[in-house]
Amino acid sequence: MTVLTRFLALPFLAMTLSAAPELSENEARIAITIGEVEVLTYHKAESEAPEQAGEIYNRSAFIEPLRNSRGHAVTDRHPTDHWHHMGLWHPWTHTVIDGRNYDFWNLNKGEGTVRFAEATRVLESPDGGGVGFVARQNHVMLKPQEAVAIEEELTVIVRDSAEPFIVDYSWTQTPQVDIELPPHRYGGGLGYRGRRDWTTDNLTVLTSEGKDREDGHATRARWVRYTGPDNSGEDTSVVLMNAPTNHDHPQRVRIHPQEPFFCYTPQQENAWELKKGEPVTMAYRILVYAGTPSPDELEEQWRRFAAQSK
The dihedral region occupied by 150, where left means phi > 0, alpha psi between -120 and 50, and beta the remainder, is beta
Q: What does the pLDDT average to over 98-122?
A: 97
Residue 11 pLDDT > 50, yes or no?
no
In this predicted structure, what is the pLDDT of residue 149? Answer: 99
Q: How many domains does the chain have?
A: 1
Banded pLDDT at 186 (limits 50, 70, 90): very high
Task: Name which of 204, 207, 216, 215 is nearest 292 in CA terms.
Answer: 204
Does 13 score more than 90 pLDDT? Answer: no
The closest alpha carbon to 190, from 231, 141, 235, 155, belongs to: 155
Instruction: Give the dihedral of Cα atoms 161, 287, 279, 193; nearest 10 deg.
Output: 140
CATH number at residue 140: 2.70.98
Residue 14: the pLDDT is: 35
DSSP tag of 85: -
Name the more confident of 7 and 24.
24
Phi-psi group of 155: left, alpha or beta (phi > 0 → left; psi -120 to 50 → alpha; rest → beta): beta
pLDDT band at 18, cuts 50/70/90? Answer: low
- For residues 93 and 106, the answer to whether their CB atoms sit within 8 Å is yes
Q: Alpha-carbon distance 62 to 222, whole Å?
A: 23
Least confident interval from 10-24, 106-120, 181-195, 266-280: 10-24
Query: Which one, of 238, 208, 205, lies nearest residue 220 by Cα?
Result: 208
The single-letter code of the amino acid at 78 is H
Which helix (H) or strand (E) segment holds residue 5: the answer is helix 3-7
Say if pTM beats, i.e. exceeds, 0.85.
yes
Other CB atoms within 10 A of residue 181 CB: 20
pLDDT of residue 57: 99
Length of the chain: 310
Q: Is the pLDDT of residue 217 over 80?
A: yes
| Domain ranges, residue 104 | 3-308
Burial 232-267 (b: 16+ CB within 10 A, else e): eeebbbbbbbbbeebebbbbbbbbbeebbbbbbbbb
Single-letter code of the amino acid located at 180: E
Strand partners of residue 41: 31
Q: 222 with 241: CB under 8 angstroms?
A: yes
Q: Is there a contact between 60 and 44 (Cβ–Cβ < 8 Å)?
A: yes
- Residue 294 confidence (pLDDT) above 60: yes
**DSSP three-state, residue 57:** helix
pLDDT tens per residue across span 126-166 = 455 799 999 999 999 999 999 999 999 999 999 999 999 99
CA distance 189 to 17: 29
Mean pLDDT of 101-115: 98
